[in-house]
Amino acid sequence: MNPLGLLPAISAAICWGSFFVPIRKVNVADIWQLQGATGIGAILFAIPIGFLWGFQILPAGLLSGAIWTAGNVLALYSVRLIGLSRTSPFLAGFSILISFLWGILYFGEKFNYLILAIIAIGLLLGGLVFISNTSKNSPVRKSGYLIATASGLIGGSYVIPLQATHSLQTGFFSSSLSIFAIGIPMLLFSRKFAKREMLAGTISGSLFNVGSLSVLVAVGLIGITVAYPISQTATLFAISWGVLYFREIIHRQAILRIITGAGLILCGAALITVA
């Protein structure tokens, strides 16, 4: 494994862990508006990168952007229902699981110690149990967790079209263009252009694309089965924002469960890098 690939994977974790913060700051007021503004932020970052990697319009990149947009809309709904600190671990856990399965079953990526890899996935998913038990299982909570799960399963596949067509770099602009092209009709449909929400979405879109650029570099260097799980340690940063800054969870027992769950997820991500 190329150790240099760990750096962009960690960079992706930091960016993705902070991705929802501007949106959460405005209380996820209108999901369509925020998704549209996110697309603007994504394309603004992609344009200068396009001068390095090209402005090709690739079907794989367009599909990648569409997959991510679907997952992100679901994630926004989940954040509105159960908060950032609960959404992020579910999103990360199931993204890791689906990317792991893609890497093993489709791309044929190998582990030196498959048993360790399976244990790592078990730790990742086990951490979700602690997090999901931090509140009463009201219908709203249950639906929020289900939506977060769906978001993770969809979002964990967004890089697959690019990797399958060997266009991780050349497809970056196409992916960003797709996010932008889908987001603009959503923005117009919302009929809301409040400056505060627009700015929050634009910043979030830029943060996402910095993380996306980083993870594409990492996947090219160390493979999806290692790069993506490391990038999903973003949950540690997201939980910190949710608990410490937004004060979504104030009871000590619930905070301990969140910390335990996040710790299991991080241990699983660390273990998978040595498997």
Q: What is the pLDDT of residues 13-56, one digit of tens each?
A: 899 889 888 988 887 678 899 899 999 999 999 999 999 888 99
Q: What is the pLDDT of residues 223-265, one digit of tens each?
A: 877 787 788 778 778 878 887 788 877 777 777 887 787 788 7
Q: What is the DSSP letter of 133?
A: T
CA distance 40 to 77: 20
CA distance 231 to 229: 5
Domain boundaries defined on the chain? 3-274
Per-residue confidence (pLDDT) for residue 262, from 0 to 100: 75
As given in the structure block, the two tokens for residue 269 are 């991500």
> Kind and range of the H or E element at 194?
none
Burial class (CB in 10 A: 0-12, 13-18, 19+), 53: middle
- pTM for this entry: 0.81
Residue 160 DSSP SS3: helix
